[in-house]
Amino acid sequence: MPAVVVDDVGKRFGPVRAVDGVSLTVADGRLLTLLGPSGCGKTTTLRMIAGLEQNDTGRIAIGDRIVSDPARGLFVAPERREIGMVFQSYAIWPHMTVFANVAYPLQVRHRPAAEVRERVLGTLKLMEMAHLAERPATALSGGQQQRVAIARALVFQPRVLLMDEPLSNLDAKLREQMRVDLRELQQRLGITTVYVTHDQEEAMVLSDEIAVMHEGRILQVAPPETIYTRPVNRTVAAFVGTPNLLPAKVLEVRWAPGATLARVQGEDWNGWCSAPDGLQPGEAVTVIVRPEVIQLGRAPGSSGSAIAWTGVVRQRFFRGTRNLYTMQVGARTLTVEAPSDQAAAPGTPVSLSVDAIHTWAVRG
């Protein structure tokens, strides 16, 4: 049974349609991330699942229970939805100890003192925070405060965990570690989670599925690898990573085992790329080529199922194990990422190629 169902949900704030016909299904024990730029409706969608905002249209269910259906006049209060919530700001009470912060959800539910102590200490142990139980909240680092916030959301054993940009206030190194820790914790507990972020890498690391949002709508829901390598349109492709987006026209289509290939013509280049089913000759497409799949100084494969260019290095940026290049290719600039031992100075002529399997064409 799905743990969360959002069915054709909409929300307006005055004349602004913040969420427009959003539908989602989150399977039990899975982590789905709402990913998109600021103002796309992802936090509003999360707050409607939590009951902190009321949807104007559609319905929301948690487990087998409908918690919001305005057409029927049904709205279940947040505290009765069996959800745990972790906010961007942590929302830790500074006048309380770690133990008291985590115990609060159980105390307001009037659980016995012995049960409160057992569950709080067990949850703090899970978060590797038991040794800090009596420490004042004000004496914690940012990462420790976030762990306390997560422990508080988990201590009463919610059916669903909702997380709104929970790592955005941490420094880069700690944020990277917390991503790994969060994913391991979510998988170990098997708790259904809806996670909001604008950070593409964070979404890729954490998610079973990603829902990419734009202007109040969901553009694509798919596993991270599919979102990255097979985006449904140009908007999704441009938001996830920094791809090269090359306008072209389809010349012919052929079906290879397990794949559709299209021969396309760009402004001053042509070649073969992977394509969705149903593409027809004459259609305008955008060919998506990620910087890391372009081969530097290599001729295309003998099969001819590739795109090849010649160009000149404009700039090189050293990034540790990788070099990032901008290449002048005719009237267009390509971004290319290559191993650091493949160094080419600005002004150097280069040959570039990419195999069709590592490209993707979308309509428009």
pLDDT at 266: 93
pLDDT at 299: 55
108-158 pLDDT per residue, tens: 899 999 999 999 999 999 888 899 999 998 899 888 898 899 999 999 999
Just give the CATH number of 2-235. 3.40.50.300
By 3-state DSSP, what share of the chain in percent is helix, strand and coil, each rounded to 5? 30, 40, 30
* CA pair distance 81, 79, nearest whole angstrom: 6
46-90 pLDDT per residue, tens: 999 999 999 999 999 999 999 999 999 999 999 999 999 998 887
pLDDT at 303: 47
DSSP string, 151-197: HHHHTT--SEEEEESTTTTS-HHHHHHHHHHHHHHHHHHT-EEEEEE
Q: What angle do CA 195, 137, 174 make, to 5 degrees?
A: 45
List alpha helices for the chain, DSSP H: 42-50, 98-107, 113-126, 142-154, 172-189, 200-206, 224-229, 234-239
Q: Name which of 56-60, 154-158, 230-234, 281-285 the model is least confident about.
A: 154-158
Q: C-alpha dihedral over 93, 148, 91, 60, to 10 degrees?
A: -130
What are the Cα distances from residue 11, in Å, to 31, 48, 70?
A: 24, 9, 11
Q: Name which of 128-137, 143-152, 169-178, 298-307 the model is least confident about.
A: 298-307
Map out the domains of the chain as residue ranges.
2-235, 242-363
1 vs 70, residue with greater confidence: 70
22 vs 144, residue with greater confidence: 22
Average pLDDT over the chain, rounded to an integer: 92
* CA pair distance 260, 277, nearest whole angstrom: 6
**pLDDT confidence tier of residue 93, bands split at 50, 70 and 90:** confident
**pLDDT confidence tier of residue 1, bands split at 50, 70 and 90:** low
* CA pair distance 344, 321, nearest whole angstrom: 15
In percent, how much of the chain has pLDDT > 70? 98
pLDDT at 257: 73
pLDDT at 90: 74
Fold of 242-363: OB fold (Dihydrolipoamide Acetyltransferase, E2P) (2.40.50)
* CA pair distance 192, 321, nearest whole angstrom: 36
* CA pair distance 142, 110, nearest whole angstrom: 30
244-270 pLDDT per residue, tens: 999 999 999 998 777 899 999 998 899
A 10 A CB-CB count for 289 gives 21
pLDDT at position 306 over 90:
no
